[in-house]
Amino acid sequence: MNNELASFIRDVPDFPKKGIIFKDITTLLKNPEALTKTVSILYELAKDKGISKVAGIESRGFIFGGLLAEKLNAGFVPIRKPNKLPAEKISETYALEYGTDTIEIHKDAIIPGDRVLLHDDLLATGGTAQAAVKLIEKLGGEVVQISFLIELVFLNGRELLKGYDIQSLIKYDAE
């Protein structure tokens, strides 16, 4: 657990609905030292992996995903919610507690042989990241690391992502 960074995360109870404690990263993002430190730790974890593309999950995964891509000399690929990407794309639908959700990627965003770092702000149940992994692999990319700022360990998201190099900077063992 990176306690120094953890102190920049704001808990917002009952957002976006009752019973959820939202982990707000805007309080970390607005602090220049915390922002630099976070990028630098994520970069150190990924720099020797020969990464050619960083894929970020909408929308908070775009922030550090973009910063990391630039530092790694890699390209950046957005994985987006439905009907946002303009060109030819593929979709993946996954289960939520109530209902389903879908994410999409441009067909030409990844080429076979790409070594991909997948990034999102937070790992909860792992459903979103698992769907993103499927999209990348369908296009022939190899997911060489999956990184998160925050991991809600008690939700066991790692189970769904077994076999992958999973990194997280701030871990919560309980709500």
Residues lying near ligand AMP in the complex (CB under 6 A) are found at: 20-23, 57, 60, 120-129, 157
**Nearest approach, Cβ of residue 122 and ligand AMP (Å):** 4
**Nearest approach, Cβ of residue 50 and ligand AMP (Å):** 26
The encoded tokens of residue 126 equal: 């792992």
Element (DSSP H or E) covering residue 23: strand 21-24
Q: Which is nearer to ligand AMP, 41 or 153 (CB)?
A: 153
Residue 160: how many other CB atoms lie within 10 Å: 18
Q: Which is nearer to ligand AMP, 20 or 111 (CB)?
A: 20
**Nearest approach, Cβ of residue 23 and ligand AMP (Å):** 4
**What's the gap between Cα 26 and its chain centre?**
16
Residue 74 dihedral angles phi and psi, to the nearest 5° = -110, 165
End-to-end CA distance of the chain: 15
Q: Which is nearer to ligand AMP, 52 or 78 (CB)?
A: 78
**Nearest approach, Cβ of residue 61 and ligand AMP (Å):** 6
The residue type at 5: L
- What span, in angstroms and rounded, lies between the C-alpha atoms of 154 and 28? 23
Q: Which is nearer to ligand AMP, 141 or 157 (CB)?
A: 157
Residue 97: how many other CB atoms lie within 10 Å: 6
Q: Which residues pair with 91 in a beta bridge?
A: 104
List, by residue number, the catalytic residues.
60, 97
